[in-house]
């Protein structure tokens, strides 16, 4: 069963292109499109790291203990924020890190 996607790929790409190609601010695009600025920042970060594939929906993952330890060690060693960590390790949502 596929999970429901709140924002489709085309919408995310449009928002990212407004920021990167038109040089609009994240705040302006979020107001223009009626969504939270944090979504725009997240999509731009994933796009910069993974290209267009970074905007595609992801399946729910079961992360191994080794992967989880690797992530936690990177957070501590590199003083990464939740957003930076989610982008670096291609984790769809920073809230997953809190769990």
Of residues 98 and 42, the one with the higher pLDDT is 42
pLDDT, one tens digit per residue, over 56-93 is 988 778 889 999 999 999 999 999 999 999 999 999 88
Q: Comparing C-alpha atoms, which of 50, 49, 62, 51 is closest to residue 96?
A: 62
pLDDT at site 82: 93
pLDDT digits (tens, 9 = 90+) for 4-44: 668 999 999 999 999 999 999 999 999 999 999 999 999 99
Question: What are the domain boundaries of the chain?
Answer: 9-55, 65-98
Q: What is the pLDDT of residue 60?
A: 76
**Where is pLDDT greater, at 32 or 3?**
32
Q: Give yes or no for residue 1 having a pLDDT over 50.
A: no
Checking if the pLDDT of 3 tops 80, the result is no
Per the listing, tokens 């690797």 go with: 70
Q: Which residue has the tokens 């939270």?
A: 36
- DSSP 8-state symbol, 64: -
């Amino acid at each position: 069963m596929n999970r429901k996607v709140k924002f489709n790929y085309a919408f995310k790409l449009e928002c990212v292109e407004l920021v990167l190609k038109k040089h609009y601010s994240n705040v302006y695009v979020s107001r223009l499109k009626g969504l939270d600025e944090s979504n725009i920042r997240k999509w731009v970060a994933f796009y910069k790291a993974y290209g267009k594939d970074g905007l595609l929906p992801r399946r729910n993952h079961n992360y191994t203990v080794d992967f989880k330890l690797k992530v936690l060690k990177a957070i501590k060693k590199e003083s990464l924020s939740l957003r930076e960590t989610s982008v670096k390790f291609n984790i769809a949502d920073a809230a997953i890190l809190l769990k």
